[in-house]
Each structure stands twice: as C-alpha cells, then as structure tokens.
C-alpha cells in the first residue's frame, strides 16, 4: 500500500447507456477508460500534452478492483491520487464513486512512466511535475 498519496485531481464523468454490458452494469473495460480520462485531464491541466512526440507519459501497468457494479444512469466521481515519484515513474491510485454517494465502487492503480518517444526509453519526470507532487 502506498504510504504517501496526494489527491491531485477529481473528475465527474456521466455513465453512458452504452457503457453497460449484457449483465446490465458498466463493463469492466470502461473503468479503465474512466481512469484514463481523469489522468489525461490532470496532466493536460498542468500543461503536459499527452501526445506521441518528444517526451511523454505512458502507462506500464494498470489494475482495477471492482467492488460494486455501476449502472446507468449516473455520474461517476473519480479521484486521482499520486504517490511518491521515482526517477521516471509515478504511481497513481484511483477511487471510483457515484456523484453524491460516498460508497466506494472500485479502486484502481496505474504506473505512469515518462519516456522519450523516439527511443522508447524512460527519462526523468519533468521537474515542473515533480514540484507539483512534492
């Protein structure tokens, strides 16, 4: 368990009818899209474009623990936390709830690695981002 977590961004995302699967709840793949959206919003809010040029963030692993099914209609409230950054990586954690409901529906984790797009090798996290996480 990550000991140092900092809440860095919160997003509200409407559940679309098409997010549900044959079982009538939000498909498990959609949770990863929700986490991706909050991550991209956070990085772009700080001025880091998520584009395949120069140096850029990539995800090297991701996971999700599904606690309670989400259903349409609703608005997902996703909170993104960052852990202690390494040289080139940042551990992230996500809490997924419904807007107005404190119940935890799912949790997720992903490791962001900063990489040189041309070489495919990791590079140090930009200092401006590191300062935000301090």
pLDDT tens digits for range 52-110: 889 999 999 999 999 999 999 999 999 999 999 999 999 999 999 999 999 999 999 99
The pLDDT value given to residue 52? 83
Q: What are phi and psi of 98, to 5 degrees?
A: -95, 145
- pLDDT higher for 132 or 99? 99
- Write down the pLDDT at residue 49: 84
Which domains, from first to last, does the chain contain? 6-133 (3.10.129.10)
Instruction: List residues bridging with 56 in a β-sheet.
Output: 115
Percent above pLDDT 70 for the chain: 98
Q: Is 103 helix (H, G, I), strand (E, B) or coil?
A: strand
Residue 3 pLDDT greater than 70, yes or no: no
* Token pair recorded at residue 121: 């090798």
Q: What angle do CA 117, 40, 73 make, to 5 degrees?
A: 145
């Amino acid at each position: 368990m990550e000991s140092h977590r900092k809440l860095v961004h919160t997003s509200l995302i409407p559940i679309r009818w098409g997010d549900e699967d044959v079982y009538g709840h939000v498909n498990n793949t959609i949770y990863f899209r929700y986490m991706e959206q909050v991550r991209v919003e956070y990085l772009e809010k700080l001025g880091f474009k998520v584009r395949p040029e120069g140096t850029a963030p990539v995800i090297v692993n991701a996971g999700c623990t599904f606690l309670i099914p989400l259903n349409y209609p609703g608005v997902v409230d996703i909170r993104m936390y960052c852990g202690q950054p390494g040289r080139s990586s940042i551990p992230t954690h996500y809490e997924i709830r419904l807007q107005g409901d404190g119940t935890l529906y799912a949790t997720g984790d992903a490791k962001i690695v900063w990489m040189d797009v041309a070489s495919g090798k990791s590079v140090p996290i930009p200092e401006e981002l590191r300062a935000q996480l301090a």
